[in-house]
Chain A
C-alpha cells in the first residue's frame, strides 16, 4: 500500500480514541457518554440493536455530527479541531451512503481520491478495481450496478487513501456469501498489516465472530459489554453470540456494567 495521504510517521497510541462521547436530540439521549478505543491492527465490532446509537457514534467519529459532549481523536487528532487532517487518515463505507449513481466507478474513485489527497491516484484506482473485482465495471455508472456491486465500489472508495481508521457500517449486508467472504478476508489481511484499525458494525454474529478481535455491545446509547466475541458468550452464560445479542437487546438493564 503506497498510495496514501497520511504518510507521516505513525504516532503511538490507539488509532481511534473516543472519550465520554455523548449526543442528545432534545430530550432523547442517542449516545450516553461512551468511551472506547481501536488499536492498530485491530478489528472492533460495534454491535447493538437498531436504534442503539451505532450510526450516531459513527457520524460523530466522521465529523458530520457534533457531539454534545466528549471527544473523538483519530491518531491523536481531535476531529472537532483538526477535522481535515483527521479525516485524511480515515475512510468509511456504509450501505446508506452509496456513491453518486450518475458517475462511473472510475469517475467516482477519481473524484474521491482527489478529496482524500491520494498520491499516485491513477495506479491506486486500477489496483483497487482489480482487487475488488470491479474491472469490468470501470466505466459503468454506479447507479446501474447491483447493490452488491455498489457495496464493492463503496469499499474501493473506503480503501482509496489506505486509511489508518476504517469505519465499516454493515459492509457485507448486500454481498453474496462468496463476495462477503472475500471482503472479510481482505479487511482482515489489511488489519493484520498493523497500521490500520477497523470499526465494524454488523448484525451477522457469525461474521462478527470470524472477523472481530473485540466487540462492544451498545444498547440505549451505552456500552454494556466488551470483550472477545469468541469467549464473551460463555462468560455471560449464553450459548452463542447471537443468543447474547438477543439477551442484551431485550434485557439491557441486566447487562449494565457495575
Chain B
C-alpha cells in the first residue's frame, strides 16, 4: 500500500492549525533570516566602502547568507514539525493510528516546503528592497541551487528527527546547531580550496559546497557549472534516501525495544 495523500495532508494540516493559532510559531519562519539579511547587508555595504565595489562583495555575501538561511529554514522546518509531536507527547496517538512512517515523513517534508517558502519569500524581498540584491535576476539558474539546498535540508531534517526519536526529547538540542556546524565545511562564504585538506574531504561529501562554488561562479559573471550542480544534486538525493532509511530503521528499533511506547522515559531498561 503506497502513501495516502489524505494522511500526508493531515500532518500538514496539523502544522497549519498550529501556525494559524500561534504568532510565536509564525515569526521564526522569517525573523532570524531577516535579521541575517539586514546584518550582512550592512556589513557588506561597509566593506564595499573599504574595497572596490566592483568586486561584488555585497552580492556574493548576501547571496550566500540568503541561500544558507534557506537551507537552515528547510531543515528546521522538518525538525519543528516533528518536535511538535515530541512536545505535545503525541507519539502514541500518531503511531497507533493507521498512519504509515512514509506518510508521516512525507507530511513533515511537505510542512517544511510551506514554512521554508515563507522564509525564502521574505528573505528575497528584503534583500532586494533594502540592498538591491536581485536573486530573481539569476532566472532559471536559481532553481537547481535551491533544489539541491532543499533536498539537503530535508535530508538533515529527517536525520535529526530520527536522532531525537532514538535518543529522546532531551536530544532536541542536537538539532538546532547542525547548520552552524556544517557551514564551515560547506564553503558558504569562501571557496572550498581555502580549507585544509581534511576539511575539503568533508566538503566534497556535502551537497551545499557544490551549490556555493557554483554560486560564486555565477556572481563572478560565469556560467552555471552543470557538472558541479549535478554532483551536488546526486549527493543530495543520496542523503535524502539515507535519511529516510535512518528514520524508518530508528522507528522500527523504537517499536522493537519499547522506546516508542515509553518515549518520554528515554529508556526502557
B1 at the interface (CB under 8 A from A): yes
Given the known interface contacts A85-B1, A111-B13, A111-B14, the answer about A117 and B98 at a Cβ–Cβ threshold of 8 Å is yes
Chain A residues within an 8 Å CB radius of B258: 25, 59, 65
Chain B residues within an 8 Å CB radius of A62: 92, 96
Q: Is the CB of B255 within 8 A of A65?
A: yes
Q: Is the CB of A84 within 8 A of B96?
A: no
Query: Complex Cα distance A114/B9, Å?
Result: 8
A112 at the interface (CB under 8 A from B): yes
Q: Is the CB of A114 within 8 A of B93?
A: no
Query: Complex Cα distance A24/B85, Å?
Result: 27
B100 at the interface (CB under 8 A from A): yes
B256 at the interface (CB under 8 A from A): yes
Q: Is the CB of B97 within 8 A of A115?
A: yes
Query: Complex Cα distance A114/B261, Å?
Result: 22
A75 at the interface (CB under 8 A from B): no
In the complex formed, the residue of B with least CB distance to A65 is B261
Chain B residues within an 8 Å CB radius of A132: none
A26 at the interface (CB under 8 A from B): yes
Q: Is the CB of A84 within 8 A of B261?
A: no
Q: How many of chain B's residues touch chain A, expressed as a range?
A: 20 to 34
Chain B residues within an 8 Å CB radius of A100: 14, 84-85, 88, 90
B196 at the interface (CB under 8 A from A): no
Q: Which of A94-112 contact B (CB under 8 A)?
A: 94, 96-104, 107, 110-112
Q: Annotate B197-239 by CB proximity to A: 1 below 8 A, 0 otherwise.
A: 0000000000000000000000000000000000000000000
Chain A residues within an 8 Å CB radius of B7: 114-115, 117
In the complex formed, the residue of B with least CB distance to A167 is B96
Q: Is the CB of A114 within 8 A of B13?
A: yes
B190 at the interface (CB under 8 A from A): no
Given the known interface contacts A85-B1, A101-B88, A110-B13, the answer about A116 and B96 at a Cβ–Cβ threshold of 8 Å is no
Chain B residues within an 8 Å CB radius of A97: 89, 92-93, 96
Q: In the assembled complex, how far is the CB of residue A96 from the closest CB belonging to chain B, in whole angstroms?
A: 8
In the complex formed, the residue of A with least CB distance to B6 is A114
Q: Is the CB of B260 within 8 A of A84?
A: no
Q: Which of A207-255 contact B (CB under 8 A)?
A: none
A9 at the interface (CB under 8 A from B): no
B21 at the interface (CB under 8 A from A): yes
Q: Is the CB of A112 within 8 A of B88?
A: no
Q: Annotate B83-115 by CB proximity to A: 1 below 8 A, 0 otherwise.
A: 011001111111111111000000000000000
Q: In the assembled complex, how far is the CB of residue A154 from the closest CB belonging to chain B, in whole angstroms?
A: 9
Q: Is the CB of A116 within 8 A of B261?
A: no
A92 at the interface (CB under 8 A from B): yes
Query: Complex Cα distance A84/B6, Å?
Result: 14
Q: In the assembled complex, how far is the CB of residue B241 from the closest CB belonging to chain A, in whole angstroms?
A: 22
Cβ 8 A contact of A63, one of B10, B89, B96: B96
Q: Is the CB of A111 within 8 A of B10?
A: yes
In the complex formed, the residue of B with least CB distance to A82 is B1
Given the known interface contacts A62-B96, A64-B261, the answer about A115 and B10 at a Cβ–Cβ threshold of 8 Å is yes
Cβ 8 A contact of A103, one of B14, B95, B261: B14
Q: Is the CB of B6 within 8 A of A117?
A: yes
Chain A residues within an 8 Å CB radius of B173: none
Q: Annotate B7-23 by CB proximity to A: 1 below 8 A, 0 otherwise.
A: 10110011001100110
A175 at the interface (CB under 8 A from B): no
Q: Annotate A106-142 by CB proximity to B: 1 below 8 A, 0 otherwise.
A: 0100111011110000000000000000000000010
Given the known interface contacts A26-B269, A111-B13, the answer about A116 and B92 at a Cβ–Cβ threshold of 8 Å is no
Query: Complex Cα distance A100/B14, Å?
Result: 10
Cβ 8 A contact of B98, one of A65, A87, A103: A87
Chain B residues within an 8 Å CB radius of A145: none
Given the known interface contacts A25-B258, A64-B260, A85-B98, the answer about A102 and B88 at a Cβ–Cβ threshold of 8 Å is yes
Q: Is the CB of A107 within 8 A of B6?
A: no
- Extra inter-chain contacts (18) besides given A25-B258, A84-B99, A87-B96, CB under 8 Å: A56-B261, A59-B261, A64-B96, A87-B97, A94-B92, A97-B92, A97-B93, A100-B90, A102-B21, A102-B84, A102-B88, A104-B21, A107-B14, A112-B97, A114-B13, A115-B7, A115-B98, A117-B7
* Sample (13) of A-B pairs whose CB atoms are under 8 Å apart: A5-B98, A59-B261, A63-B96, A64-B91, A64-B95, A64-B261, A85-B1, A87-B97, A100-B88, A103-B14, A111-B14, A114-B9, A117-B98
